[in-house]
Amino acid sequence: MRKYSALTGRFGEFGGCYAPETLMGPLHELRRAYMRFRADPAAQKELKYQLKNYVGRPTPLTYAARMTGALGGARIYLKREDLAHTGAHKINNAIGQALLARRMGKTRVIAETGAGQHGVAAATAAACFGLKCTVYMGSKDMERQALNVFRMRLLGAEVVPVNSGSRTLKDAINEAMRDWVSTVRTTHYILGSALGPHPYPSIVRDFQSVIGREARAQILAAEGRLPDLLIACVGGGSNAIGLFSAFLGDKKVEMAGVEAGGEGVNTLRHAARFAARAGGSPGVLHGTSTYILQDRDGQVRETHSVSAGLDYPAVGPEHAYLFRTGRAAYVSVTDREALRAFDFLTRSEGLMPALESAHAVAYAMKRVPRMPARKIVLLNLSGRGDKDIDTVREAKRGKNG
Partner 1 sequence: MKSLRKSGRAAFIPYITAGDPTLAATRLFLRALESARADIVELGVPFSDPMADGPVNQRSAQRALKNGATLGRILEFAGHYRRGGGKVPIVLFTYFNPLLRFGLKAFAKKAEENGIDGVLTVDLPPEEAGEYRRRLDERGIAAIFLASPTTSAARMELIGRASTGFVYYVSRLGVTGERAKLPAALAAGLKRLRGKVRKPVAVGFGISTPEQVRAAARHADGVVVGSALVKLTEGRSPARAARLIRAAASAMVRALRGLRRTICL
Q: Which of 305, 332, 357, 382 is catalytic?
A: 382
Shortest distance (Å) from residue 395 CB to partner 1: 29
Residue 318 designated active-site: no
Nearer to partner 1 by Cβ, of 264 and 283: the residue is 283
User: Cα–Cα distance between 86 and 162 in angstroms, integer?
Assistant: 23
Nearer to partner 1 by Cβ, of 68 and 166: the residue is 166
**Choice from 2, 251, 277, 296 touching partner 1 (CB under 8 A):** 296
Nearer to partner 1 by Cβ, of 33 and 355: the residue is 33
Contact flag: residue 174 with partner 1 (CB under 8 A)? yes
Q: Is the dihedral of CA 379, 236, 252, 213 positive or negative?
A: negative
Nearer to partner 1 by Cβ, of 128 and 284: the residue is 284
User: Cα–Cα distance between 349 and 145 in angstroms, integer?
Assistant: 24
User: Cα–Cα distance between 50 and 112 in angstroms, integer?
Assistant: 23
Contact flag: residue 292 with partner 1 (CB under 8 A)? yes
User: Cα–Cα distance between 201 and 240 in angstroms, integer?
Assistant: 12
Shortest distance (Å) from residue 84 CB to partner 1: 30
| Burial track 202-238 (b if 16+ CB lie within 10 A, e otherwise) | bbbbbbbbbbbebbbebbeeeeeebbbbbbbbbbbbb
Site residues for partner 1, 202-261, by CB under 8 A, read none
Site residues for partner 1, 12-51, by CB under 8 A, read 16-26, 28
Distance of CA 231 to the CA centre of its chain: 13
- Applying CB under 8 A, the span of 30-38, 90-98, 103-111, 181-189 interacting with partner 1 comes to 181-189
CA distance between the termini of the chain: 53
- Which residues have C-beta within 8 Å of that of residue 105, sequence separation ≥ 6? none
Size of the site for partner 1 (CB under 8 A): 39
Contact in structure between 43 and 34 (CB atoms under 8 Å): no
| Burial track 246-260 (b if 16+ CB lie within 10 A, e otherwise) | bbbeeeebbbbbbbb
**Choice from 60, 72, 298, 369 touching partner 1 (CB under 8 A):** 298
User: Cα–Cα distance between 280 and 226 in angstroms, integer?
Assistant: 32
- Applying CB under 8 A, the span of 11-19, 97-105, 200-208, 264-272 interacting with partner 1 comes to 11-19
Q: To which H or E segment does residue 134 belong?
A: strand 132-138
Whose CA is closest to 312, among 294, 334, 330? 294
Nearer to partner 1 by Cβ, of 26 and 257: the residue is 26
- Applying CB under 8 A, the span of 243-251, 292-300, 356-364, 368-376 interacting with partner 1 comes to 292-300
**Choice from 57, 170, 188, 384 touching partner 1 (CB under 8 A):** 170
Residue 90 designated active-site: yes
Contact flag: residue 178 with partner 1 (CB under 8 A)? yes
Residue 387 designated active-site: no
3-state secondary structure of 284: strand
- Applying CB under 8 A, the span of 47-55, 170-178, 243-251, 258-266 interacting with partner 1 comes to 170-178
Catalytic residues: 90, 112, 382
Interaction site with partner 1 (CB under 8 A): 8, 16-26, 28, 164-165, 170-171, 173-174, 177-178, 181-185, 282-287, 292, 294, 296-300
